[in-house]
Amino acid sequence: MTLTIDRLSLHADGVAHGPEGTVHVAMVLPGEEVEGEIEAGRIAAPRILTPSADRVKPPCPHYCACGGCVLQHGSDSFVAGWKASVVLNALAQRGIEATVVRVETSPEFSRRRATLAGRRTKKGTLVGFHARASDTLVEVPGCRILRPELLAKVPALQEATALGASRKGEIAFALTLSEAGVEIAAKGGKDMDPALFEALADLASRHDLARLSWGDETVAARRPAQQVFGRARVTPPPGAFLQATAEGEAALVGFVRQAVGRAARVADLFAGCGTFALPLAETAEVHAVEGEAAMLAALDRGWREAQGLKRVTHEARDLFRRPLLPDEIDRFDAVVIDPPRAGAEAQIGEIAASRLGRLVHVSCNPVTFARDARRLLDAGFSLEDLIVVDQFRWSAHVELAARFERR
């Protein structure tokens, strides 16, 4: 069957019209003519008859098998433009016209946080990323997205898999590069016992890990696994959320600081460990609100040990079930919000009902962002500034930051 690709889906598959409806096609670009066998509405291995001018040779030898990247066959300019269009199209679906000022793309070999999977096999162990749309694991030596420091710890993951994986189970290893080196947070392994604890502690020492946790238990904390947020040094809980690249974090923090401007009192909602709150405290008093108390404890310790910061207060609060109310919001000159993929529908509703004049919205989901943006515009806000930040290079993942003003 010969088809012409009309567009890319939100998952970066090609979308074409087939004889029986929509067909999804892997690893193609808009405008390309392709042929292949359709199975269950999908062409998994298309032959490119007419390639796009934006098609390039994927730089990674694992690309066809590994599911970590889905857009290495597109030029950098195409990928950046497509990610901007995902945001603009989501807004357009809500009747919102906007302009993306710029797209900030993190370079190759820049991911400082990633999750790899480990599994025991008859011949030993297998550690890598999942294959595209499959439970198969693909080893990725020389991966072009990960920091070299993370790749260097794959032997430690292989050893930990041999020690602690069941024959049918799979361990998820969250690797994070800290100021003190690499830390590993493992989930899904065998239950801890004294022999496993001793073996894992020895592994952490031999592989020079800053910290190793297994399930909910910290096995080794050889050095503080610190992250730098502005003037503060913070030691997050094991496996805690961190922006995926240093370059992406710098782009987001820079945008947020500029958007907040001279605001003297700022609320940081879904604050995590202080990615935005602590840099903002250089010029403003900040109230950080986060659902995880352990993250707030790390933020507070970092603030207390830093020099030259204004007052930072914090509050453990589930903003989905108990959002800040208008009278609480009205105490602030600006609010920063960085919700998870579900967005912040309840909190946005309270912001819309408040008298707040400035909101800075960071989002990892253009669809829920557009929903929330519509609510804000209907309440009298205007969308004044919008950027796209691509920390997940060659993936379908899109992040953005926007400034809303109400006069």
Please give the structure tokens belonging to residue 44. Answer: 């998994």
CA 390, CA 373: separation in Å to the nearest integer? 20
Give the up-direction half-sphere exposure of residue 327: CA atoms within 13 A in the CB hemisphere: 0
CA 278, CA 285: separation in Å to the nearest integer? 10
CA 141, CA 139: separation in Å to the nearest integer? 6
User: What letters, b where the CB count within 10 A reaches 16 and e where it falls short, cover 122-153?
Assistant: eeebbbbbbbbeeeebbebeebbbbbeebbeb
Are 86 and 401 in contact by the 8 Å Cβ rule? The answer is no
Q: Is 227 annotated as a binding residue?
A: no
Q: Is 392 annotated as a binding residue?
A: no
Please choose, from the candidates 193, 314, 192, 300, the residue with its C-alpha nearest in 3D space to the C-alpha of residue 237.
300
Q: Is 217 annotated as a binding residue?
A: no
Are 20 and 39 in contact by the 8 Å Cβ rule? The answer is no
Please choose, from the candidates 245, 249, 273, the residue with its C-alpha nearest in 3D space to the C-alpha of residue 176.
245
CA 209, CA 151: separation in Å to the nearest integer? 13
Euclidean distance between the first and the last CA atom of the chain, given in angstroms as a whole number:
56
Active site residue 66: no
Q: What are the DSSP calls for 340-395, one per residue?
A: -TT--HHHHHHHHHS---EEEEEES-HHHHHHHHHHHHHTT-EEEEEEEEE-STTS
Q: Is 39 annotated as a binding residue?
A: no
Active site residue ranges: 364
Annotated binding-site positions: 243, 270, 290, 338
Annotated binding-site positions for S-adenosyl-L-methionine: 243, 270, 290, 338
